[in-house]
Structure 1
């Protein structure tokens, strides 16, 4: 039996909540919801959906790089958004551009709250390392 490989940024809420940013089990990587923060765990973009969205997806890229994965190996995204009706028109083309010709499955859900009070978006993913990148 193989052992799962985990990855974390070392931000405070990982130990507070007791989770990993991602966990690799075999050829599958399960990515926890990413959000807008810098390397020190400082939240970025209070009140700025575009900045939060860009930083959130950039953090997803960092997780992918850790596992040697590419965006083309993402098979599913889960996107949670506060005030979805207000932000969907900005989010949809950004998500499409982020993945280019690749089209992962995706669930987008409007939520009333996220973990941090100023947080507007969170993006989780499932990645298959056995797919061509």
Structure 2
């Protein structure tokens, strides 16, 4: 089995549970879920959905870069939202961070997310 390398950066929120920000195995990086915490304060960035989405993408960017890649290396993105009516907003903001070819993606409606977040994202990156 390939060696597991733990990815950690102070440019993204520290883990709030028993997990790593990301784990690299071979050329694949498994990104843990990111919620819209400000990495410096570990507080929710805003109550506003679009500001939360931007912070989540910024947090994912920091973890991708710490692993030696970028958002464009994400091949699978999972988006969890407490209100699926925000789907169009996610698409609009995602276009600022990604260009074609887009990663495979799932958008999932959930009842609740950690710390009262409105959105969480995780993914798989191939570098």
Match of 2:111 in 1: 112
Asked whether 1:42 is paired with 2:40, we answer no
The residue number in structure 2 matching 1:18 is 18
Partner of 2:59: 59
For residue 3 of structure 1, report the CA deviation from its aligned partner.
2.5
Larger radius of gyration, structure 1 or 2?
1
Cα RMSD for the two superposed structures:
1.6
TM-score (structure 1 length as normaliser)? 0.85
2:68 is matched with 68
Shift in alpha-carbon separation, 1:18–1:61, aligned structure 2, 3 A: same
Q: Which runs of 5+ in 2 are unaligned?
A: none
Q: Runs ≥4 in structure 1, deviation > 4 angstroms?
A: none
Q: How many residues get paired? A: 123
